[in-house]
Chains A and B, each alone.
Chain A
Amino acid sequence: MKKSLFSTGMIILSYFTLSVYATPFENWFVQANMFYEKQEFDSAAGYYEKIIAGGLQNSSIYFNLANAYFRLNKLGLAILNYEKARKLSPNDQDILTNLRFTQLNIIDRIPEPKRTFFETFLWYLHTMFSLTLQMWILFFLLLIMSIAFALALFASHNARLWLIYTISLCFIVSILFGSSIGLKIYTTEKKKFAIVLEKSVDAKNAPNGDKILFTVHEGTKFQIRKTVDNWSLVNLPNGVSGWVDNELLGHI
């Protein structure tokens, strides 16, 4: 009996600690950082790529890889990897700063749609916490609500009133967090983005089309609306759209 309990415990423990890697990623990581320090950015990038190819998804690796590409003046690849890093750690200031700085160095300036003060405020709240943290906060809010509900069922009149206030407050905050989580999940699942990796790319009127609608340059970010064969229908933030060869894009 004791043995089976122990083995079950080990399985559960290994499940939760499966994501922690010791070797060889750590060795490669140290190697890559050394090359970076010696300004051998090609070799550094190679090692970071090797770690990613090994199946490790970590924002620090993407961040360092992006830095190496930036030093190699490959702005498209740099922005692509900063974006990948941001996807994993949305509130990391280092990532955000480097991404902003790299974007200043690209050719295309596509103005983002302007937001009102209220929209900016809502956007700030929406992006303030990472999705994981938001999910934990929502879980604890639900837990507090359920416990307060259970207590309210058996509490005296006055105490019940306070518990109802608590539940109401938690409910409102839960709605806000829930909406934000919903939006983030929707964006993650439904909206796909890509970065231009070539020096310049022509967007056509149709897959293999003969008419060029617009030309964009390395590092420009697109939203991918549709993919047909090897072509993607892309959308710029200002609403312009066209078909671009997939091979010229890096998918985030």
Chain B
Amino acid sequence: MKNTPFILLLLFVLLSFVHSSAALKQFTASPNTDVATIDEQVTITATIISDKEIKNITGPSLPAAEFYTILRTGRNQQQSTSVQIINGKMTQSINISYIFTYTLALKKIGVFTVPGLLFSHEGKTYSTRPFNITVTKVGKQEVKVAVRADKKELFVSEQGILTVEILKTVNAPVELTNDGFVSAISHIEETFGKNFSINRLFRDKVSQSQKQIDGQVYQVFSLSFSIIPLNSGTYTLQSIPFQYHELKRSGSRRDPFSDFFGDSFFGGGINRTSKVAYSNKLNVTVNALPPSPADFSGAVGAFSLSAKVNEHTVSAGEAVTLSINLRGTTRPGNLKDITLSDMSDFEIFTPEKHTSVDTSAQGISTTKRYKYLVIPKEEGDKTIPSIQWVYFNPKLKEYKTLSTSPIQITVTKGKTGSKRQTRYLTQSDIQELGQDIRYIKTSTVLKNQSHVPYKNSLFFILYPLPFLIAVFAFLYRIQATILKKDPMLQLKKQAFQKAKKEASALKKSFLEKIPDNALSRIAEIIENYISHRFGFNASGKTLEELKEELVKRDIEQSVSDSIIPFFEKLDSYRFSGVTPDNTLCNELLDTSCRIIEGLESRGKKR
């Protein structure tokens, strides 16, 4: 009994091991329909059911057959767990389903057998049962696809136009989708991409038109491509599958829930069935070019060449513009640059070259424009010789040479007579001659420079300055506001300055003449100061009261004591009727100033 847990654990481990090596439970495959028309798509669903997750599973292989093409594949995974309790005993099973879908486009009519799908797992190969699919004709084909080329035979480097037309019966219940067009375009580009230079001759939109065939009106969607073969040989464009949707009214229209929540509420009530229409096959034969002459430019097609000058009479040393236009039905890469023949009478500059490409439904055409600046070296009748350009004409199947007519130029005497002229420099020449480094710096102040000016202590001193100004102004403004609100405080703050100012003015007036009321004014200065500074009216008080008031305001006894004798002395002169002299007035004024200063310093200490 003691070993029971150990035995159970051992059993569990053994069972787990057995479980992990369990085989597949089920592997089946079936089509969505046994009978289909040739324009329909058939979907085969293969299901693998396992009781354990299969890591890195790859889908079963569907053997190839002649009557179908695989359009696309898909994969899905589901998991279900079932629990059973029988006689109180619980069992649990897990099923993991791997679902693979194969969408087939049908190619032939008849009864065909789809071979069994094969799936390999842990060294074993499983197979499904084969099944039959009956492919029938289409009653009426609403969508047709036609591929045609403007030429069945091309030469290497010759441009051909490949057109894919998708014809849809007007008002047919079918829907052409972007996917259908995109997959058709990819198919063509993949097929021709290796051996041809292929370019789309349409931009974002597919061109549309209407066409009547056998009394039936079709809406035609055309896609044109320019194809330029790179190698000789015969190339086949297999049938292009074009996918579209057939629209049918849904059968559950009467269901009110379906009407409200279903498609009909959102403009639906329509079922879409995927269909495929196939194009015809197309063979293109590419012939090699016959042996070429030495000066062959490599271009194949139809070309034109022209040349002209802007002036036929110029002075020696002056420039003439020679314009040359080369145009042809090919891409820019196939249009080799022209070369001028020997023109020893002229100085020739590197030409200005401009290439333009024109893409239309008729194909690609390229124009190259050259502007040569040619300068006649000496006077006389000069000739710009004919320019030649060799190409292959595929219609005539032979090499042709384009040539321009020789251009006559009359060169008159230049600035330095009939001698050979040194050419005038054009702007580009000046630039070329100026291509050298600039000379060294010879006159310079040999000052130590720093690439880190932000580490200069001058900036450390200067930068706080604006902030200090702002802070100082702000604090000053606050103080001014406080003083404005409290006039007594303002008087108190300004008392000392005011007293000093008045004393100074009075002293100046003493230099000219002693005023009659000099002593009263001295008394007034000191009384006003005390009144403003200490906040009580000093003028109406007796000396004892004045002393008491000052003591009350914490002015030291010694200071207040010194004021009394001063006032007594002042009053004695004021009321004695004696006219004070200059010395006395100055002495009293100085004493008053000292008293004020003493009171101010004591007042500040408070």
The interface of chain A, by Cβ under 8 A from chain B, is 16, 19-21, 25-26, 29, 33, 36, 51, 55-61, 63-64, 67-68, 70, 87-89, 94, 97-98, 101-102, 131-132, 135, 139, 142-143, 145-147, 149-150, 153-154, 181, 185, 188
Contact = CB atoms under 8 A, between A and B. Distances in A.
Nearest to A148: B470
Nearest to A92: B441
Nearest to B471: A146
A168 to B, nearest CB: 15
A57 B463 CA distance: 25
B467 to A, nearest CB: 7
Nearest to A99: B437
Nearest to A181: B454
Interface stretch (B137-145, B442-450, B575-583, B590-598): B442-450
Given A63-B441, A64-B441, A67-B440, A147 B469 contact: yes
Contact of B474 (A55, A143, A153, A181): A153
Interface string B412-446: 00000000000000000000000111111110111
A51 B447 CA distance: 12
29 contacts: A16-B458, A19-B447, A19-B448, A21-B448, A25-B446, A26-B446, A33-B442, A51-B446, A57-B448, A57-B451, A58-B446, A59-B449, A60-B441, A64-B441, A67-B437, A67-B439, A68-B440, A88-B451, A97-B438, A135-B454, A135-B459, A142-B466, A143-B466, A146-B470, A147-B466, A149-B473, A150-B469, A153-B476, A188-B451
Contacts of A150: 469-470, 472-473
Tell me what chain A mostly uses at the interface: helix, strand, loop, or mixed. Answer: helix
Contacts of B458: 16
B454 A146 contact: no
Nearest to A189: B452
Interface string B465-484: 11101101110110010000
A29 B473 contact: no
Contacts of B439: 67
B440 A58 contact: no
Given A58-B446, A58-B447, A139-B462, A36 B440 contact: yes
B453 interface: yes
Nearest to B436: A101
Contacts of B467: 142, 146
A102 B437 CA distance: 8
Contact of A153 (B440, B447, B452, B477): B477
Contact of A139 (B450, B459, B476): B459
A78 B467 CA distance: 45
Nearest to B438: A94
A51 B436 CA distance: 26
Contacts of A142: 463, 466-467
B431 to A, nearest CB: 12
Contact of B465 (A29, A57, A89, A143): A143
Nearest to A59: B449
Nearest to A140: B466
A58 B448 contact: yes
Nearest to A98: B437
B564 to A, nearest CB: 41
A101 B435 contact: yes
Contact of A188 (B452, B469, B470, B476): B452
Nearest to B465: A143
Contacts of A56: 446, 448
A88 B473 CA distance: 38
A185 B446 contact: no
Contact of B446 (A16, A29, A94, A146): A29
Nearest to A139: B462
